[in-house]
Amino acid sequence: MKGIFLAAKSSPSFDSSKFYSIFNEYTMEKLSEIIDISPSIVDKNRLEENAPLLAQTELIFSTWGFGTLSEREIREYFPRLKAVFYAAGSVKYFARPFFDCGVRVFSSQAANAVPVAEFTLAHILLANKGALRAPQRYKKLGYHAARSYTDRYEGNFNARVGLLGAGRIGRKVIELLKPFDMDVFVFDPFLSAEEAKRLGVTKAPLDIIFSTCHVISNHLADNEQTAGIVNYDYLSQMNDYTTFINTGNGPQIVTDDLVAVLKENETITAVLDVTDPEPLPADHPLFSLENAFVTARISGSFAGEVARMGEYMCEECRAFLAGEPLKYEITREMLSTLG
């Protein structure tokens, strides 16, 4: 079966070194054992020039910098195409024309969920110990002031953790939290009571989560229904020494409302790996607040972690060709609930 690597080489998000870090030597070798594929990347912006090759292509492999194809382009240049294996996260921006052409789409979103969930777990554990704020107190007020301040945090035994969203990342966080003695509460309209019981969590509305949990972490899908869902009404319900973590999407949080709450209650802490706007302007008030910790989308896959995404798609391709159960297929119906 003929496969190609395809990318929009002129795209700002395309990086050839990252491409070959995702589809590294190990993954290339594994792919070449099951399909006919060249390590060269075909430029999506030169379809006509590559028309003879594309006409024989049955499988596409890509990642960040894939770009988009119209239904007309797919039908004209890829008449034999069966599947797209996307070794990155969300497929929402390009998938629909492929579905319209009967092409199946697979994503490594689950692979990218792993480092995000690990980042979240680390901050949950640190937050419940007051570890994010202790260095500030120690430096400014001394050893005993730092100790007495962190004594006001819950600690990790029997702590209440609130998760917004039970998609791939939310479920991975739930999995990673299992070894710890914590009560996990989840807000997700698509999570049934039966599924919540199977996961070992308690389904709860937003007001209960914000008013009772010691740490709250956002993993909701990015769509019209979730835009601005975390606003002052909920943020202001957080108790003293609560930590809010956002590795989900910036537009779900009303930034001005969050800033207001952080100013009103210095004991509340925010860990924001994503923001709205992004990037923040240099003079944004979040940078001047001691209880706001703003990173720069470091929770997702980077450095050596990106290779996991290529490996996931390689294994999914092998299962696809062998007629075995598939783990990472995205359907049209799933697009409305995915990030």
pLDDT in tens, 22-71: 999 999 999 999 999 999 999 999 999 999 999 999 999 999 999 999 99
Instruction: Clarify whether residues 101 and 125 are in a common domain.
Output: no
Instruction: List the strands of the sheet with 292-294, edge to edge.
Output: 202-203, 182-187, 159-164, 215-218, 243-246, 269-272, 292-294
Whether 100 contacts 159, CB under 8 Å: no
Mean local confidence (pLDDT), 92-114: 95
The reported pLDDT for the residue numbered 221 is: 84
The reported pLDDT for the residue numbered 338 is: 66
The reported pLDDT for the residue numbered 1 is: 94
Q: What is the pLDDT of residues 123-166, one digit of tens each?
A: 999 999 999 999 999 999 999 999 999 999 999 999 999 999 99
Mean local confidence (pLDDT), 89-115: 95
Question: Does 279 sit behind a cis peptide bond, omega within 30 degrees of 0 on the bond before it?
Answer: yes
Instruction: Clarify whether residues 68 and 142 are in a common domain.
Output: no
| d(C-alpha 219, C-alpha 10), whole Å | 31
Instruction: Clarify whether residues 130 and 272 are in a common domain.
Output: yes
The two tokens of residue 230 are 């975390």
Of 146, 154, 149, 133, which Cα lies nearest the Cα of 215?
154
Mean local confidence (pLDDT), 103-127: 96
Instruction: Clarify whether residues 120 and 162 are in a common domain.
Output: yes
| d(C-alpha 95, C-alpha 226), whole Å | 21
pLDDT at 225 over 90: no
Whether 188 contacts 166, CB under 8 Å: yes
pLDDT at 339 over 70: no
| d(C-alpha 310, C-alpha 77), whole Å | 25
Token pair 């990218």 is found at 112
Instruction: Clarify whether residues 213 and 83 are in a common domain.
Output: no
Whether 215 contacts 159, CB under 8 Å: yes
More confident residue, 102 or 334: 102
The reported pLDDT for the residue numbered 235 is: 98
Instruction: Clarify whether residues 128 and 71 are in a common domain.
Output: no
Mean local confidence (pLDDT), 220-232: 89
Q: What residue numbers bound the domain in which 309 lies? A: 2-107+302-337
Instruction: Clarify whether residues 99 and 119 are in a common domain.
Output: no
The reported pLDDT for the residue numbered 264 is: 98
Instruction: Clarify whether residues 90 and 207 are in a common domain.
Output: no
Hey, how many other C-beta atoms are within 10 angstroms of the C-beta on 140? 10
| d(C-alpha 120, C-alpha 126), whole Å | 10
Instruction: Clarify whether residues 211 and 321 are in a common domain.
Output: no
Start-to-end C-alpha separation, the chain: 31
Whether 292 contacts 262, CB under 8 Å: yes
Of 234, 162, 236, which Cα lies nearest the Cα of 204?
162
| Torsion sign across C-alpha atoms 236, 237, 238, 244 | negative
Q: What is the pLDDT of residues 19-34, one digit of tens each?
A: 999 999 999 999 999 9
Instruction: Clarify whether residues 88 and 217 are in a common domain.
Output: no
The reported pLDDT for the residue numbered 49 is: 97
Identify the CATH number of the domain in which residue 314 sits. Answer: 3.40.50.720
The two tokens of residue 209 are 């989560």
Give me the chain's average pLDDT, please: 95
Percent of the chain with pLDDT over 70: 99
Instruction: Clarify whether residues 182 and 327 are in a common domain.
Output: no
Instruction: Clarify whether residues 211 and 309 are in a common domain.
Output: no
| d(C-alpha 182, C-alpha 173), whole Å | 12
Mean local confidence (pLDDT), 253-280: 97
pLDDT at 90 over 90: no
Torsion of CA 270, 204, 116, 9, to 10 degrees: -100
Residues in CB range of 232: below 8 A, 6 or more apart: 254, 257, 260, 261
The reported pLDDT for the residue numbered 39 is: 94
What type of residue sits at position 269? Answer: T
Structural domains counted in the chain: 2
| d(C-alpha 13, C-alpha 82), whole Å | 25
Q: What is the pLDDT of residues 174-209, one digit of tens each?
A: 999 999 999 999 999 999 999 999 999 999 999 999
Of 64, 111, 171, 107, which Cα lies nearest the Cα of 329?
107
